[in-house]
């Protein structure tokens, strides 16, 4: 009996290491980190997942994703970034403001998506050799504000004032403001610039637009204003204002025009970059990608509702027309 018991105990002891080795390993974790609310940005998550898939990673199979959103409360960013570092995330994909907090939180690789100049912002020292633990995708909003103003200018009467909404907390705001103001001066377009920082500022700005009888609305770039794009498009329609946005989704929601880079495609590329880092590449050796795909959208339904005649040359330029 004693011998049998000894053999049985010995067999069980030998089995323990095998059981331990058979335990499934946790999936590598990617943090998806934004300064904005989670909605209405589901399309960016879809694009990000597509990029991960192109790199060989599928959520739930060989990678996990942790979502963190600051809901436009920028003071929450450091704590959210620290939470992802503790998780621990293997890589963090973030918008421009969130990326700065993620970079400061530790040495976890960071892939940013920004509409500004990451070198000027101090995020990376160079586009070609970012060094350190940060790289990403950039599209400079300061380079296409003038084009957006030119397109919107064709829908307003001579000497009619265009109001530009600028998110004062955005890293891209100053470059975009200077670009648009210079373009307005060059074509003699009256322009008033209104800064907004929170939801209350948007309400006050819209009241001012009505009181001052502006003729059109030019919405600046950045996550905060993008999170309100549907609201702004609806209010522009309600007050019969031709409108210009940097995002195609605003035109799909009823805005008149949009011109700018494909942010959706930028997040797909960010997913690819995150996958490459998961495979072992170092962010500092991966050049910052510069988005080269721009698109012009035009909503003919909105133009009709506003009683606007769309010039044939604009129809010819449009990459997509909503009828």
Instruction: Find out if CATH 3.40.50.2300 is the number for domain 142-260+295-322.
Output: yes
The answer to whether residues 300 and 137 touch, using CB atoms and an 8 Å cutoff, is no
Query: In this predicted model, what pLDDT tens digit does every residue of 213-243 receive, in sequence order?
Result: 899 999 998 889 999 999 999 999 999 999 9
CB neighbour list of residue 39: distance below 8 Å, 6 or more residues apart: none
Query: DSSP for 179-205?
Result: HHHHHHHHHT--EEEEEE-SHHHHHHH
Which listed CATH number (3.40.50.300, 3.30.70.100, 3.40.50.2300, 3.30.70.1050) goes with 29-141+263-293?
A: 3.40.50.2300
Q: Looking at the predicted structure, is the pLDDT value of residue 18 above 70?
A: no
Q: Under 8 Å CB-to-CB from 88, ≥6 apart: which residues?
A: 29, 108
Q: How far apart are the first and last CA of the chain?
A: 87
Read off the pLDDT of residues 62-95 as tens digits, 9 standing for 90 and up. Answer: 999 999 999 999 999 999 999 999 999 999 999 9
| Whole-structure pTM value | 0.83
CA separation for the pair 280, 126 (Å, rounded): 21
Two domains, one topology: 29-141+263-293 and 142-260+295-322:
yes
Going from N- to C-terminal start, the domains of the chain cover 29-141+263-293, 142-260+295-322
Q: Is the omega angle on the peptide bond into residue 239 within 30 degrees of 0, that is, cis?
A: no
């Amino acid at each position: 009996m004693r011998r049998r018991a000894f053999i049985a105990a010995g067999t069980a002891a030998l089995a323990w290491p095998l059981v331990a080795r058979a335990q499934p390993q946790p999936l590598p974790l990617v943090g998806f980190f934004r300064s904005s609310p989670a909605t209405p940005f589901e399309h960016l998550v879809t694009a990000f997942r597509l990029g991960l898939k192109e790199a060989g990673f599928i959520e739930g199979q060989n990678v996990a994703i942790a979502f963190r959103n600051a809901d436009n409360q920028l003071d929450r960013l450091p704590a959210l970034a620290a939470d992802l570092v503790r998780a621990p995330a293997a890589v963090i994909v973030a918008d421009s403001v969130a990326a700065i907090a993620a970079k400061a939180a530790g040495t976890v690789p960071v892939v940013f998506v920004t509409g500004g100049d990451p070198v000027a912002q101090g995020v990376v020292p160079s586009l070609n050799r970012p060094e350190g633990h940060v790289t990403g995708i950039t599209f400079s909003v300061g380079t296409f504000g003038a084009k957006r103003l030119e397109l919107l200018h064709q829908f307003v009467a001579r000497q009619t004032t265009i109001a530009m909404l600028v998110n004062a907390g955005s890293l891209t705001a100053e470059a975009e403001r200077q670009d648009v103001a210079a373009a307005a001066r060059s074509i003699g377009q009256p322009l008033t610039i209104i800064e907004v920082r929170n939801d209350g500022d948007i309400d006050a700005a819209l009241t001012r637009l009505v009181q001052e009888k502006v003729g059109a609305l030019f919405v600046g770039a950045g996550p905060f204003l993008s999170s309100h794009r549907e609201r702004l498009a609806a209010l522009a329609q309600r007050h019969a204002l031709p409108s210009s946005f940097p995002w195609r989704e605003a035109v799909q929601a009823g805005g008149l025009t949009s011109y700018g880079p494909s942010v959706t495609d930028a997040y797909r590329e960010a997913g690819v970059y995150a996958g490459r880092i998961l495979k072992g590449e170092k962010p500092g050796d991966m050049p910052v990608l510069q988005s080269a795909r721009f698109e012009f959208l035009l909503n003919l339904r909105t133009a009709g509702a506003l009683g606007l005649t769309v010039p044939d040359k604009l129809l010819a330029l449009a990459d997509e027309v909503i009828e």
